[in-house]
Chain A
Amino acid sequence: MRDVWLLLRGVPGLTGAPDGVLQELAALFAWIESRDAWITREGEVGDAVHLLAEGVCAVSTRRPSGEEAHLAHLSAGAFFGHRAVLTGGRHTRSVRGIGRVRTLSMPGAALRQVMDGSDIYTATILRTALIISTARDLASATARIARHSAELAPGPPSAQPD
């Protein structure tokens, strides 16, 4: 469990948290290792939050045509799967490991218990970590949208309706 605790210490949002809190959180995660495998599938009910510890994952979504559209890559330190767990909904993206991947996975029930529990401090820092990870996803998606839009509309967008 010490390796999990050490890894959590470096996660943005959890940095600086007391060792006891991180040890309690570490006990809720389990290691999962996979190779070129789907970790979450779009449309499935969210039942765990994953922290990518080693390797790279590809994020994709299905177009109405059924074709898989690549959205992003995730690298070590990224959380995923939490949005479906916390909203009680289904995954809106699929995440697949590229090659060998190691994740730390916490069951959805454990995540909800931390969030709704009486330990406000632990809930706050874990929520902060999830917010930062989601915010970084959004910031990089925003940059990609702007880049794609620039490629599609070389002139000023207002002057060139697509």
Chain B
Amino acid sequence: MGRRIPFADMVAESPFGAGLGANERQAMMAWLRPRPFSAGEILISAGELDRRLFLLLAGEVGVSAHAGGNDFALMSLGPGDMVGEICFFDAQARRSADVIASKRGLAAGLQYSDLLVAQREGHPLVATLQGLALAQLTKRLNAADRLLAGLATHRRPPGLVRRLRGSLGLPS
């Protein structure tokens, strides 16, 4: 059995705790809730209204979308990634995809109302999360654009979708 790393240490060693002083990290822990998950567990369901953000500390989750009665795997995410950022920042948005654990792991959950508290207190977590969110959204949007540019052809060369997904590091 491996040594169990305390939740606070995992947060501190993650990109979400990077650059924070001891006092700032301690304050941040009041807003973060451990969210352990097992393989197959649903963290986020498409269509829901939920303003929680999950910061992935361990394990792996898969993001998938529905259309035409089918589920389509969009990407896999792991430690250092965040999920749920669209609804977290946009009060008018509903969850746009399902997020299901593919491997057992741990996330830190943050409610939007707690981010507002952090914002009022001028806590650097806000800028850290916003910077990471913009970087992550940019990366995902670029990947989505490349996928869409390939999908938007009238004729589909054999294996195009599989090759595109592979080139983006997405599951085929």
Contacts and interface: CB of A to CB of B under 8 A. Distances in A.
Contact of B137 (A138, A148, A157): A138
B65 A145 contact: yes
B22 interface: no
Contact of A156 (B70, B92, B93, B130): B70
A154 B144 CA distance: 21
A156 B158 CA distance: 17
A85 to B, nearest CB: 11
B148 A137 contact: no
B88 to A, nearest CB: 9
Interface string A141-162: 1111111111111111100011
Contacts of A144: 148
A143 B72 CA distance: 10
B149 interface: yes
A131 B137 contact: yes
A124 B127 contact: yes
Contacts of A61: 145-146, 149
A136 interface: yes
A83 interface: yes
Given A120-B122, A135-B137, A162-B161, 17 more contacts: A12-B92, A69-B152, A127-B134, A134-B134, A137-B141, A142-B74, A144-B148, A145-B151, A146-B72, A147-B68, A149-B67, A151-B68, A152-B151, A153-B70, A155-B70, A157-B71, A162-B159
Interface of B: 65-74, 85-86, 89-93, 96-97, 119, 122, 126-127, 130-131, 133-135, 137-138, 140-142, 144-149, 151-153, 156, 158-162, 172
